[in-house]
């Protein structure tokens, strides 16, 4: 759908938890776009079940970590060589305030997003002497399809933590991501940018 809206775009369907699929999709995208990669936004994610740590299903834990953390790692790893060849790039990883604070009954999600923050800081420092910038955005709750994976009790809990008393809007996150991909943000790398309605203060 996004490819149709954009027009000149190469769309790939990929399970980011599968490194072979990520590498194949990156190769196909580079071939379709003349070998050039300017921006990566690594935003695929799942919520996982709402459960205490002692009751958390092992397979669900692994799937959340596979998609939310390993998937971001796979995409970052695949993007860096193409950006290094051009000497330029912008990587934006999507984290969460849950990765900074931890949410009860959402340990897998919180742990995965904490890992994304650590990965972003590490890669940002590795590439700091290049013109490749690596940052992440730490969201409070933004109303997207991921809400469909959560219990209403957990959705209500997240809203109760936001001082503005509302969920974020996709356009608000998009504006921050667009700024981070611009040259106006050229002195920022390895940074976590909160967009949380006052939650992260």
Three-state SS across the chain?
CHHHHHCCCCCCCCCCCCHHHHHHHHHHHHHHCCCCCCEEEECCCCCCCCECHHHCCHHHHHHHHHHHHHHHHHHHHHHHHHHHHHCCEEEEEEEECHHHHCCCCEHHHHHHHHHHHHHHHHHHHHCCCCCEEEEEEEECCECCHHHHHCCHHHHHHHHHCCCCCCCECHHHHHHHHHHHCCHHHCCCCCCEEEECCCCCC
| CATH number, span 2-195 | 3.40.50.720
Mean pLDDT of 94-117: 96
Least confident of 12-26, 47-61, 142-156, 187-201: 142-156
Q: What is the pLDDT of residues 125-174, one digit of tens each?
A: 999 999 999 999 998 877 766 667 777 887 788 778 778 788 788 899 99
Q: Where are the domains of the chain?
A: 2-195
Per the model's pLDDT, the better-predicted residue between 14 and 6 turns out to be 14
Give me the pLDDT at residue 88, please: 97
Beta-ladder partners of 51: 106
Q: Cβ distance 60 to 108 under 8 Å?
A: yes
Percent of the chain at pLDDT above 90? 71
State the catalytic residues: 109
């Amino acid at each position: 759908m996004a490819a149709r809206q954009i027009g000149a775009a190469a769309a790939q369907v990929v399970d980011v938890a599968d490194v072979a699929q990520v590498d194949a999709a990156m190769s196909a995208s580079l071939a379709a776009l003349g070998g050039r990669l300017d921006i990566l936004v690594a935003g695929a994610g799942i919520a996982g079940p709402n459960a205490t740590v002692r009751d958390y299903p092992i397979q669900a834990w692994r799937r959340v970590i596979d998609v939310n953390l390993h998937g971001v790692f796979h995409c970052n790893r695949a993007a860096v060589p193409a950006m290094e060849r051009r000497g330029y790039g912008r990587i934006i990883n999507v984290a969460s305030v849950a990765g900074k604070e931890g949410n009860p009954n959402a340990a897998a999600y919180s742990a995965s997003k904490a890992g994304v923050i650590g990965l972003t800081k590490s890669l940002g420092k590795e590439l700091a002497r290049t013109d490749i910038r690596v940052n992440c955005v730490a969201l409070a709750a933004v109303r997207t399809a991921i809400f469909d994976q959560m219990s209403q009790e957990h959705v209500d809990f997240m809203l109760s933590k936001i001082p503005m008393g509302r969920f974020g809007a996709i356009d608000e996150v998009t504006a921050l991501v667009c700024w981070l991909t611009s040259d106006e943000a050229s002195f920022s790398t390895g940074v976590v940018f909160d967009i949380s309605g006052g939650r992260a203060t």
